[in-house]
A = this chain, B = another copy of it.
């Protein structure tokens, strides 16, 4: 039962992390987004075909928390784009491994996009492939890969997936 409770708690913790991550990016509090990651992190948004074939080309690829901050600065201050809302739905959490130091897990995600004065629409779907580590007791992302099913994005991805 001790093992079981540990497993339940781990699951609960990850689902809570995911929920806070989604609430952050969906509410548009983008300045808080980099804090979900450790300093030496990897964040990539990559088409499924490229990932499956081992091809390196990614739509977005950031390799430090500093680069994540730069991205948010660009998305909110310098990129010229039509604003839109995001809404994340996440399902099917699978804990792939837990070696005590890092937890590897994955989940399916769906992002609905809503442009001003337009109808909501399917924007991006795929799976998260994550590596989580504990910092001061709480999980942060060491890696988050967003492996999406389509190569066709309705316009470009501005905000974090």
Contacts and interface: CB of A to CB of B under 8 A. Distances in A.
Interface in A111-161: 112, 114, 116-127, 149-154
A18 B108 CA distance: 12
Q: Dominant SS at the A interface? A: mixed
Contacts of A150: 85, 114, 118-120
Contacts of A116: 151
B120 A87 contact: no
A48 to B, nearest CB: 7
Interface of A: 1, 4-5, 7-9, 11-12, 15-16, 18-20, 22-23, 26, 48, 85, 87-94, 106-108, 110, 112, 114, 116-127, 149-154
